[in-house]
Amino acid sequence: MALEIPEVVINRLPIYARALAALAEQGETVVSSQALGQALDVTPAQIRKDLSYFGRFGKQGRGYNVPGLLTRLREILGLDRQWHVCVVGVGRLGQAIVEYGGFGPQGFQIVAAFDADPAMVGRRVGGITVRAATELDGFLHNNRVDIGVVAVPAAVAQQVVDQLVKAGIRAILNYAPMTPHVPRDISIRHIDPVIAMQSMTFYIKLAEGGGK
Protein backbone atom coordinates (compact mmCIF):
# COMPACT_ATOMS: atom_id res chain seq x y z
CA MET A 1 0.00 0.00 0.00
CA ALA A 2 2.59 2.48 1.18
CA LEU A 3 4.47 2.19 -2.09
CA GLU A 4 1.55 3.88 -3.85
CA ILE A 5 2.19 7.11 -1.98
CA PRO A 6 3.83 9.52 -4.43
CA GLU A 7 7.43 10.30 -3.58
CA VAL A 8 6.69 14.05 -3.70
CA VAL A 9 4.30 13.53 -0.80
CA ILE A 10 6.93 11.67 1.23
CA ASN A 11 9.39 14.46 0.42
CA ARG A 12 7.05 17.07 1.89
CA LEU A 13 6.42 15.22 5.17
CA PRO A 14 9.76 16.18 6.77
CA ILE A 15 8.95 19.83 6.03
CA TYR A 16 5.60 19.45 7.78
CA ALA A 17 7.29 17.69 10.71
CA ARG A 18 9.84 20.47 11.04
CA ALA A 19 7.15 23.17 11.01
CA LEU A 20 5.12 21.23 13.60
CA ALA A 21 8.20 20.85 15.80
CA ALA A 22 8.72 24.63 15.65
CA LEU A 23 5.06 25.17 16.61
CA ALA A 24 5.34 22.64 19.45
CA GLU A 25 8.40 24.47 20.75
CA GLN A 26 6.37 27.68 20.80
CA GLY A 27 3.79 25.90 22.91
CA GLU A 28 1.15 25.68 20.17
CA THR A 29 -1.18 22.71 20.59
CA VAL A 30 -3.51 23.13 17.61
CA VAL A 31 -2.87 24.28 14.06
CA SER A 32 -5.22 24.59 11.10
CA SER A 33 -4.20 23.41 7.63
CA GLN A 34 -4.58 27.07 6.65
CA ALA A 35 -2.03 28.26 9.20
CA LEU A 36 0.34 25.37 8.51
CA GLY A 37 0.03 25.98 4.77
CA GLN A 38 0.67 29.67 5.22
CA ALA A 39 3.81 28.95 7.22
CA LEU A 40 5.12 26.73 4.43
CA ASP A 41 3.76 28.41 1.30
CA VAL A 42 1.73 25.29 0.54
CA THR A 43 -2.05 25.27 0.01
CA PRO A 44 -4.18 23.90 2.87
CA ALA A 45 -5.72 21.47 0.35
CA GLN A 46 -2.28 20.09 -0.45
CA ILE A 47 -1.54 19.49 3.22
CA ARG A 48 -4.88 17.77 3.80
CA LYS A 49 -4.41 15.59 0.72
CA ASP A 50 -0.83 14.67 1.64
CA LEU A 51 -1.83 13.68 5.17
CA SER A 52 -4.88 11.76 3.97
CA TYR A 53 -2.57 9.02 2.64
CA PHE A 54 -1.78 8.13 6.23
CA GLY A 55 -5.21 8.19 7.82
CA ARG A 56 -7.47 10.80 9.32
CA PHE A 57 -5.85 13.64 11.19
CA GLY A 58 -7.66 16.52 12.82
CA LYS A 59 -11.35 17.23 12.75
CA GLN A 60 -13.16 19.43 10.25
CA GLY A 61 -12.86 23.00 11.50
CA ARG A 62 -10.90 21.98 14.59
CA GLY A 63 -7.39 21.88 13.13
CA TYR A 64 -4.63 19.40 13.83
CA ASN A 65 -3.35 18.45 17.25
CA VAL A 66 0.26 19.63 17.00
CA PRO A 67 2.06 17.13 19.27
CA GLY A 68 -0.16 14.29 18.05
CA LEU A 69 0.42 14.93 14.36
CA LEU A 70 4.12 15.51 14.95
CA THR A 71 4.48 12.18 16.78
CA ARG A 72 2.60 10.39 14.00
CA LEU A 73 4.71 11.99 11.24
CA ARG A 74 7.89 11.11 13.10
CA GLU A 75 6.70 7.50 13.33
CA ILE A 76 5.76 7.39 9.64
CA LEU A 77 9.11 8.81 8.56
CA GLY A 78 11.09 6.78 11.09
CA LEU A 79 12.40 9.92 12.78
CA ASP A 80 11.74 8.37 16.16
CA ARG A 81 14.87 6.27 15.97
CA GLN A 82 18.61 6.53 15.42
CA TRP A 83 20.01 6.12 11.91
CA HIS A 84 23.61 5.26 11.15
CA VAL A 85 25.36 7.26 8.47
CA CYS A 86 28.73 6.80 6.81
CA VAL A 87 30.49 9.48 4.79
CA VAL A 88 32.68 8.53 1.84
CA GLY A 89 35.11 11.24 0.82
CA VAL A 90 36.59 13.49 3.48
CA GLY A 91 37.94 16.33 1.35
CA ARG A 92 36.90 19.88 2.14
CA LEU A 93 33.22 19.12 1.54
CA GLY A 94 33.26 15.78 3.37
CA GLN A 95 34.96 17.42 6.34
CA ALA A 96 32.25 20.08 6.48
CA ILE A 97 29.64 17.31 6.41
CA VAL A 98 31.28 15.27 9.17
CA GLU A 99 31.77 18.38 11.29
CA TYR A 100 28.22 19.66 10.68
CA GLY A 101 26.39 19.64 13.98
CA GLY A 102 22.91 19.34 12.51
CA PHE A 103 22.68 15.59 11.90
CA GLY A 104 23.14 14.18 15.39
CA PRO A 105 20.26 16.02 17.10
CA GLN A 106 17.95 14.78 14.31
CA GLY A 107 18.87 11.15 14.89
CA PHE A 108 21.44 10.80 12.11
CA GLN A 109 24.66 9.57 13.67
CA ILE A 110 27.79 9.62 11.55
CA VAL A 111 29.44 6.35 12.53
CA ALA A 112 32.32 6.28 10.05
CA ALA A 113 34.11 8.30 7.38
CA PHE A 114 36.32 7.01 4.59
CA ASP A 115 38.86 8.56 2.25
CA ALA A 116 41.12 7.22 -0.47
CA ASP A 117 43.87 9.74 0.32
CA PRO A 118 46.46 8.17 2.67
CA ALA A 119 47.17 11.65 4.04
CA MET A 120 43.61 11.83 5.36
CA VAL A 121 43.45 8.32 6.82
CA GLY A 122 43.82 8.27 10.60
CA ARG A 123 43.04 11.96 10.99
CA ARG A 124 40.33 13.00 13.43
CA VAL A 125 37.48 14.93 11.86
CA GLY A 126 34.43 15.92 13.89
CA GLY A 127 35.25 13.35 16.55
CA ILE A 128 35.67 10.51 14.04
CA THR A 129 38.86 8.85 12.85
CA VAL A 130 38.98 8.76 9.04
CA ARG A 131 39.30 5.21 7.69
CA ALA A 132 40.93 4.06 4.48
CA ALA A 133 38.57 3.65 1.51
CA THR A 134 39.77 0.05 1.29
CA GLU A 135 38.09 -0.62 4.65
CA LEU A 136 34.65 0.42 3.39
CA ASP A 137 33.38 -3.02 2.34
CA GLY A 138 34.56 -4.66 5.54
CA PHE A 139 33.04 -1.95 7.70
CA LEU A 140 29.67 -2.18 5.97
CA HIS A 141 29.76 -5.96 6.35
CA ASN A 142 30.36 -5.78 10.09
CA ASN A 143 28.35 -2.69 11.08
CA ARG A 144 24.85 -1.44 10.56
CA VAL A 145 24.89 1.57 8.25
CA ASP A 146 21.59 2.94 6.95
CA ILE A 147 22.60 5.91 4.83
CA GLY A 148 25.71 6.48 2.74
CA VAL A 149 26.82 10.05 2.09
CA VAL A 150 28.86 10.41 -1.09
CA ALA A 151 31.24 13.37 -1.04
CA VAL A 152 33.86 12.18 -3.53
CA PRO A 153 34.76 13.81 -6.86
CA ALA A 154 32.29 13.27 -9.73
CA ALA A 155 34.71 10.98 -11.56
CA VAL A 156 34.59 8.29 -8.86
CA ALA A 157 31.08 8.87 -7.49
CA GLN A 158 29.38 6.14 -9.54
CA GLN A 159 31.93 3.60 -8.38
CA VAL A 160 31.40 4.56 -4.72
CA VAL A 161 27.62 4.46 -5.13
CA ASP A 162 27.85 0.99 -6.71
CA GLN A 163 30.01 -0.17 -3.81
CA LEU A 164 27.53 1.16 -1.23
CA VAL A 165 24.56 -0.42 -3.00
CA LYS A 166 26.36 -3.75 -3.36
CA ALA A 167 27.06 -3.68 0.39
CA GLY A 168 23.34 -3.33 1.09
CA ILE A 169 22.97 0.42 1.65
CA ARG A 170 19.45 1.45 0.63
CA ALA A 171 19.67 5.24 0.96
CA ILE A 172 22.28 7.54 -0.53
CA LEU A 173 22.82 11.25 -0.09
CA ASN A 174 24.87 12.37 -3.07
CA TYR A 175 26.96 15.53 -2.95
CA ALA A 176 29.00 14.72 -6.08
CA PRO A 177 28.13 16.96 -9.05
CA MET A 178 26.80 14.16 -11.24
CA THR A 179 23.75 11.89 -11.38
CA PRO A 180 24.72 8.36 -10.29
CA HIS A 181 22.61 5.39 -11.35
CA VAL A 182 20.95 3.37 -8.63
CA PRO A 183 18.61 0.40 -8.81
CA ARG A 184 14.92 1.30 -8.55
CA ASP A 185 14.60 0.13 -4.95
CA ILE A 186 17.39 2.39 -3.67
CA SER A 187 16.61 5.93 -2.49
CA ILE A 188 18.94 8.67 -3.58
CA ARG A 189 18.84 12.41 -2.95
CA HIS A 190 21.15 15.02 -4.38
CA ILE A 191 22.62 18.03 -2.64
CA ASP A 192 23.89 20.36 -5.33
CA PRO A 193 23.98 24.12 -4.76
CA VAL A 194 25.23 24.80 -8.31
CA ILE A 195 22.26 23.01 -9.88
CA ALA A 196 19.96 24.88 -7.48
CA MET A 197 21.45 28.21 -8.56
CA GLN A 198 21.24 27.23 -12.23
CA SER A 199 17.52 26.54 -11.86
CA MET A 200 17.00 30.11 -10.60
CA THR A 201 18.99 32.10 -13.15
CA PHE A 202 16.32 31.32 -15.75
CA TYR A 203 13.85 33.31 -13.68
CA ILE A 204 16.24 36.19 -12.99
CA LYS A 205 16.83 36.47 -16.75
CA LEU A 206 13.11 36.31 -17.41
CA ALA A 207 12.37 39.13 -14.95
CA GLU A 208 15.21 41.25 -16.36
CA GLY A 209 13.98 40.76 -19.88
CA GLY A 210 10.60 42.13 -18.94
CA GLY A 211 9.18 38.75 -19.87
CA LYS A 212 6.94 38.85 -16.86
Write out the residues near a second copy by the rule CB under 8 A: 1-3, 10-11, 13-15, 17-19, 22, 39-41, 76-79, 83, 85, 92-93, 96-97, 99-103, 106, 108, 146-147, 149, 170-171, 173, 177-179, 181-182, 185, 187, 189, 191, 193-207, 211-212
Q: CA nearest 155: which of 186, 187, 180, 189?
A: 180
d(CA 167, CA 75): 27
In angstroms, what is the minimal distance from the CB of 60 to a second copy? Answer: 26
Provide, rounded to whole angstroms, the least separation between the CB of residue 177 and a second copy. Answer: 7
The residues, any chain, with a CB within 8 Å of residue 149's CB and separated by 6 or more, are 85, 86, 87, 88, 94, 97, 110, 172, 173, 175
Q: Which is nearer to a second copy, 11 or 134 (CB)?
A: 11
Task: Give the nearer residue to a second copy in terms of CB position, either 122 or 177.
Answer: 177
Cα 194 to chain centroid distance, Å, stands at: 18
Cβ proximity to a second copy: between 119 and 200 the closer is 200
Indicate the residue among 53 and 139 with the shorter CB distance to a second copy. 53
- Kindly list the distances between the CA atom of residue 209 and the CA atoms of 6, 199, 202, in Å, as whole numbers in the listed order: 36, 17, 11
Q: How many CA atoms lie within 13 A of 152 on its CB side?
A: 24
Amino acid letter, residue 201: T
Q: With contact defined as beta carbons under 8 Å apart, do 120 and 101 qualify?
A: no
Q: How far is the CB of 82 from a second copy (least distance, A)?
A: 11
Minimum gap (Å) between residue 23 Cβ and a second copy: 12
Write the CB contacts of 51 (distance below 8 Å, at least 6 apart in sequence): 16, 57, 69
Between 59 and 185, whose beta carbon lies closer to a second copy? Answer: 185
Give the nearest distance from C-beta 157 to a second copy in angstroms.
Answer: 12
Q: How far is the CB of 49 from a second copy (least distance, A)?
A: 17
Judged by beta carbon, residue 45 or residue 206, the one nearer a second copy is 206
**Nearest one of 62, 56, 59, 71 to 24, comparing CA atoms:** 71
